[in-house]
Amino acid sequence: MGFEHTSVLLQETIEQLKIRPDGTYVDGTLGGGGHSLEICKRLTTGRLIGIDQDADAVAAAAERLNDYKEKVTIVRSNYSEMADVLKDLGILRVDGILLDLGVSSFQLDTPERGFTYRDADAPLDMRMDQRQTVTAGDIVNGYSEMELFRIIRDYGEDRFAKNIAKHIVKAREEKAIETAGELNAIIKCAIPMKVQKTGGHPSKRTYQAIRIELNHELEILKEHLDEMISLLNDGGRLCVITFHSLEDRIVKSAFKKNENPCTCPATFPVCVCGNKSMGRMAVRKPILPSEKELQENSRSKSARLRVFERTVKE
């Protein structure tokens, strides 16, 4: 199966990156290379660095971007290593960075990757980087009831988190939980039937929670947004596409802090903390998919694009 992924908010992202033909750009979540392809089309002497931890994505993107290979460098890594990747390539600053934080259509549609709850036989895997040894199954079968409750509550935002955790622990006492079908059945038993009829697939929030925990998605995002802004040239832009409120809140908070980092009390007549603004939020509200995109790609429904522009004050 080919690595297929419909790039969300594609035109909007390309527009916000304000691509210069001679600029250097980083796609920190390369995926199938959809966004990167559009960046490459606009480069003359410029360069694109593509980063992804998924081997399937790296292979697919290399093929897709083959016509532009003299302008493209692809590195198998996590975007958390972006500063080191650029340093190894002799690059100090770049003109734009893109993160598309969604799970790719390929990952969702390939049952053996374990991201989907829609295939009963799918294993509990969910590793973005298959070099990692811990899987979703290890979390489901190894975390304590309190730990499961915490991640399902915090990362899945599921009001039945306590009951789901309790049911998982009880079920695994009989035998290890190995497939999506087994986990789905357990979750269904933990959620009232009347809620299941109106609240979408009962497993959706739990799967989101386990995936976020397994791949450390929120910690990595929170810890590296400031660093990515610091890697930008004057006028360079960081575009981040999120797919749920937890990610969006982190991005919004980081962008606000970088725009106005002053920690002085409001009563102070002048700033004395010494914290300098890194730039500005280029759009005050997140950019949402168009009606046309929503009709053509249902997975774009929850997408949000936020943009930060770096300003270097000498």
Q: Are residues 184 and 91 in the same domain?
A: no
**What is the reported pLDDT for 198?**
82
**What is the reported pLDDT for 221?**
98
**What is the reported pLDDT for 104?**
82
Residue that finishes a domain, picked among 193, 215, 237: 215
Residue that finishes a domain, picked among 197, 215, 233: 215
Cα torsion angle, 107, 227, 305, 10, sign: negative
Q: In the chain, what's the furthest Cα-to-Cα distance?
A: 66
Query: Of 64, 95, 76, whose CA–CA distance to 28 is shortest?
Result: 76
Q: Are residues 161 and 70 in the same domain?
A: no
Q: Are residues 141 and 208 in the same domain?
A: yes
Phi, psi of 267 (to 5 degrees): -80, -15
pLDDT along the chain (314 residues), means of 10: 69 98 98 95 98 94 96 98 98 98 86 93 96 98 98 97 98 98 97 86 95 97 98 98 96 97 92 94 96 91 96 77
**What is the reported pLDDT for 314?**
54
Q: Are residues 67 and 193 in the same domain?
A: no
**What is the reported pLDDT for 1?**
44
Position 1 in a domain: no
Position 118 in a domain: yes
Q: Are residues 206 and 227 in the same domain?
A: no
Q: At 229, list the tokens.
A: 């802004």
Q: How many domains does the chain have?
A: 2
Residue 36: what residue type? Answer: S
* 187: CATH: 1.10.150.170
Q: Which domain holds residue 261?
A: 10-106+218-310
Residue that finishes a domain, picked among 164, 182, 215: 215
pTM, rounded to two decimals? 0.94
Q: Are residues 24 and 173 in the same domain?
A: no
Q: How many Cβ atoms from other residues are within 10 Å of residue 54's Cβ?
A: 23
**What is the reported pLDDT for 199?**
75
Q: Are residues 236 and 298 in the same domain?
A: yes
Query: Of 103, 121, 126, 113, whose CA–CA distance to 183 is shortest?
Result: 121
* 292: CATH: 3.40.50.150
DSSP run (H or E) holding 150: helix 145-154
Position 92 in a domain: yes
Q: Are residues 174 and 195 in the same domain?
A: yes
Q: Are residues 196 and 261 in the same domain?
A: no
**What is the reported pLDDT for 194?**
87
